[in-house]
Structure 1
Amino acid sequence: MVLFPEFSCYVLLFDEITTVSVGVMIWWRTLRERALFATYWDNGSSSFRSMLESDFNCCGYYTCSADPSSTNVCVDAIQDYADKILNQLFTSVFASTIFIVLFYLCTLCVIAEIKLLNRYRLIDIRQGNASFRSLYSSLNQESK
């Protein structure tokens, strides 16, 4: 009975570390968006580039080869769009860590309560009182 809450503490701790790691990785990518999307732009096909240009109403990534005087390049539009999505994403990931910490604290409270009940059960057994033993066994049977 005590094994499950202690095991769940380790699972929650692993989940917290994983969640924070994913959040930091997403946040780190937001710091390098221009360079990251530039590689996607360079490695993308011409149909991919034209699709992005038509979706964002822009021309070229850093410069427009069709109209060199054009200031409507795609880097700003793509970065603004990615910022909206990625900022909401890593904020949500970091916000979920609050719930994981609360679950962890609740699990620690359950472990402390189980240890306290076990302590009183052992004291009751030593003193020879059956009242708490019957209460503890009924609690133990209800949890199964």
Structure 2
Amino acid sequence: MPNKPMLVFLAANFLFVASGGLILAFALVSEREKRALPTITNVAQRILLGQCPLTSAIVNSILMFITFLISLLAVLLPNNRGWLRAHGWLVVSCACFTLGLGLSIWFGTLQTRRAMGETWAEETSITQSLLQQRFNCCGYTNSTTPPFVQDATCIDSVVAAQKGGCVTPFSDFANSYLDIIFTTAFGVVAADIILLLCTAMVLKHRQEVERFRYIDEKTGFSAF
């Protein structure tokens, strides 16, 4: 029957692999959404997801699954500490990888207005029009810089001037959307740290068991 340290380790390990599944699911769904035709509903998300390191997220999730498989070897070999040490170093690698992804997204939010302005300029007039309809605005900074796209929202220059630019609503949406993503990434790092502490606990427990077994063998109590 598993001891208490091992039960806690297993619980943390399943939380860890569930986090890896969450990252993989998000990356795959986001990749599919990026390839979908732009609409008023998804146009802003498509642009933001295009700036997220989705390929790196998939690689990160694969590394987390490999780490989980290594942990199973450590569980099945209770007297072995080598696989447990390897698992611990892999957990550290996963935590650093995920932290890097989260920090890259967080750093992007510090320059949202400038970055979104560059993105706006690179988009087609169709995408700009969808953004105008999505946020009920005209142009990026204002209706003239850059010039607005004439559509059902921005009928003419008079209406466009009254509505104002998209910089504020678009930037606010981008910040709130990306905040959720990088906060989730930091939450996954917290789960990694918990698993790392549990791994160290199990490793210490096995060291103690091995030490007492060695003492028993020297004193002759192992025969009883």
SS at match of 1:130: helix
User: For the residues of structure 2 that align with 1:32 and 1:41, how far apart are their CA atoms?
Assistant: 14
Larger radius of gyration: 1
- The alpha-carbon distance between structure 1 residues 63 and 40, as it changes in their structure 2 partners (threshold 3 A), is same
Percent identity of the aligned residues? 27
What RMSD over aligned residues (CA atoms) do the two structures have, in Å? 1.6
- 1:89 matched to 2:181? The reply is yes
- 1:21 matched to 2:108? The reply is no
Alignment TM-score, normalising by the size of structure 2: 0.55
- 1:9 matched to 2:88? The reply is yes
Number of aligned residue pairs: give it.
132
Other-structure match for 2:216: 124
Q: CA deviation at 1:6?
A: 0.5
Q: CA deviation at 1:73?
A: 0.8
- 1:110 matched to 2:202? The reply is yes
Other-structure match for 1:38: 117
1:42-57 equivalent positions in 2, closer than 5 A:
42-57=121-136
User: For the residues of structure 1 that align with 2:161 and 2:219, how far apart are their CA atoms?
Assistant: 93
User: For the residues of structure 2 that align with 1:78 and 1:30, how far apart are their CA atoms?
Assistant: 12
Q: CA deviation at 1:131?
A: 5.1
Alignment TM-score, normalising by the size of structure 1: 0.84
Task: Map Cα deviations across residues 49-88 of structure 1 (whole Å, 9 max, x no partner).
Answer: 1111111111000120334743521111111111111112
Which blocks of at least 5 consecutive residues in structure 1 are unaligned?
Answer: 133-144
- The alpha-carbon distance between structure 1 residues 81 and 3, as it changes in their structure 2 partners (threshold 3 A), is same
Task: Map Cα deviations across residues 25-55 of structure 1 (whole Å, 9 max, x no partner).
Answer: 1110000111111111111111111111111
Which blocks of at least 5 consecutive residues in structure 2 are unaligned?
Answer: 1-79, 145-156
Q: CA deviation at 1:100?
A: 1.2
User: For the residues of structure 1 that align with 2:163 and 2:125, how far apart are their CA atoms?
Assistant: 21
- The alpha-carbon distance between structure 1 residues 70 and 131, as it changes in their structure 2 partners (threshold 3 A), is farther
User: For the residues of structure 1 that align with 2:178 and 2:223, how far apart are their CA atoms?
Assistant: 58
Q: CA deviation at 1:12?
A: 1.0
User: For the residues of structure 1 that align with 2:127 and 2:223, how far apart are their CA atoms?
Assistant: 75
User: For the residues of structure 2 that align with 1:78 and 1:71, how far apart are their CA atoms?
Assistant: 14
Question: Which deviates the most, 41-50 or 88-97?
Answer: 88-97
Greater relative contact order (Cα < 8 A, sep 6+): 1
